Amino acid sequence: MTTPTAEADVLPKLSFLDRLLPVWIGLAMAVGLVLGALVPSLRGVLDAVTIGEVSLPIALGLLLMMYPVLAKVRYDRLDTVTRDKRTMWLSLLLNWVIGPALMFALAWLMLPDLPEYRAGLIIVGLARCIAMVIIWNDLACGDREAAAVLVAVNSVFQVVMFGVLGWFYLDLLPGWLGLDTTAFDVSAWEIARSVLIFLGIPLAAGYLTRRFGEKARGREWYETRFLPKIGPVALYGLLFTIVILFALQGETITSRPLDVTRIALPLLVYFAVMWGGSYLLGKASGLSYQRTTTLAFTAAGNNFELAIAVAIGVFGVASGQALAGVVGPLIEVPVLVGLVYVSLWLRRRWVT
């Protein structure tokens, strides 16, 4: 059981950069808007060199976002989750069945007249947690090893299934339900290509970095010396990407602020339902507080880096889908920080 001051200890455990992440994101948005207004020719400069459909500067920013978090995963502990069948299957159910279906339903219910933003939210729902969820889980006193394993499983699973599920929810299912699919003429390969580039490459790099880094210097050096040095790179990549995206989206954001608000509303509902529902499911299944907390955060958190990458790669950097992806971290970060406090409150009252 935690002490009465456990909640007060949450923010000091965050690094200076992570503690003020919402502030940095807000500043990046502002810088992007100003840059877009001052440099109207920015789009032509960015499109001069491309990787697929993504300009080289943005591609580099996206890869920098992904690599540090994937270098943190302990890939050698995948076998531990297979011995805990209950947590494993609940996580797969929440992440790959309930989560995408819930976001699909919310996107169509709350954005029936905004097809680009709707598609962007569906992509966010398909991009399962592999990043800062480890931080939120640790601050909430969840099971650190289970979180690392589930993140690793999601990382591998996304490479295999993201393209298939993207095709299903963006094209096939709307057709079955008689919904408008005009804006969703996207092949599974287009989505899979973005996933393989922006997840597959940093996943391989992260795995090889950990394997050879630990072999050369040991795990203690790798996790206490090396990882803290490369950790901020993910934030720099994220902020750089947000600056460019908002520079290109500035006119849309300033001229249609109501649209941005409408994108945020289904995200708020999604995070609340996924996190709260996961807690109820874990408790009903007899999981400990630690495992239930890990289950809830890994189910509620989304890989907004991947969502942004896929939206840009498939629909373009100035698309509504990309804007919906950018709104994702603006909502997710403060919401999950708040849920850390709620988790610690629940921990003090947990009865097994």
Q: Per-residue pLDDT tens for 212-247?
A: 999 999 999 999 999 989 988 888 888 888 888 778
Cβ-based neighbours of 235, under 8 Å, separated by 6 or more: 17, 18, 21, 24
Section 183-195 average pLDDT? 64
Query: For residues 297 and 129, is the Cβ–Cβ distance under 8 A?
Result: yes
Q: At what angle do helices 144-167 and 85-93 cross, to 10 degrees?
A: 40
Higher pLDDT, 134 or 87: 87
Supply the pLDDT for residue 225: 93
Q: What is the mean pLDDT of the chain?
A: 82
Supply the pLDDT for residue 190: 66
User: By mean pLDDT, which of 99-103, 186-190, 199-203, 221-225 is the weakest?
Assistant: 186-190
> Which tokens is 126 given?
């398909």
List, for residues 44-101, the tens digit of each pLDDT value: 777 676 665 567 787 788 788 878 878 887 787 767 666 778 888 999 999 999 999 9
In this structure, the number of other CB atoms found within 10 A of the CB of residue 77 comes to 13
Q: How far apart are CA 106 and CA 112, in angstroms?
A: 10
In sequence order, what DSSP letters do the residues of 19-77 get, joined into one string? HTHHHHHHHHHHHHHHHHHH-TTHHHHHTTSEETTEEHHHHHHHHHHHHHHHHS--GGG
List, for residues 301-350, the tens digit of each pLDDT value: 888 778 887 888 778 777 888 889 888 877 887 888 789 889 988 888 88
With b meaning 16 or more CB within 10 Å and e meaning fewer, what string describes 128-153? bbbbbbbbbbbbbbbbeebbbbbbbb
Supply the pLDDT for residue 41: 76
Supply the pLDDT for residue 182: 47
Instruction: Give the side-chain half-sphere CA count within 13 A for 117.
Output: 27
Supply the pLDDT for residue 80: 66
Amino acid of residue 231: G
Strands (E), 112-173: none
Supply the pLDDT for residue 252: 66
The vertex-216 CA angle with 210 and 222, nearest 5°, equals 45
Q: How far apart are CA 294 and CA 149, in angstroms?
A: 10
Counting other chains too, the contacts that 186-189 makes at CB distance below 8 Å and 24 or more residues apart are: 186/314, 186/315, 188/163, 188/164, 189/163
Query: For residues 209 and 71, is the Cβ–Cβ distance under 8 A?
Result: yes
- Name the percent of the chain lying above pLDDT 70: 84
Query: For residues 151 and 129, is the Cβ–Cβ distance under 8 A?
Result: yes
> In the CATH scheme, what is the code of domain 9-39+74-347?
1.20.1530.20
Q: Where are the domains of the chain?
A: 9-39+74-347
Higher pLDDT, 265 or 1: 265
The closest of 185, 243, 241 to 65, measured between CA atoms, is: 241
Query: What is the reported pTM?
Result: 0.78
Q: How confident is the model at residue 351 (pLDDT cuts 50, 70, 90)?
A: low
Q: Is the pLDDT of residue 132 over 80?
A: no
Supply the pLDDT for residue 108: 95
Query: For residues 234 and 20, is the Cβ–Cβ distance under 8 A?
Result: no
Q: Is the pLDDT of residue 278 over 90?
A: yes
Query: For residues 125 and 168, is the Cβ–Cβ distance under 8 A?
Result: no
Section 99-118 average pLDDT? 94
Q: Is the pLDDT of residue 204 over 70?
A: yes
Q: How far apart are CA 58 and CA 24, in angstroms?
A: 18
Report the DSSP beta bridge partners of residue 50.
Answer: 55
Token pair 């007060």 is at which residue?
Answer: 8
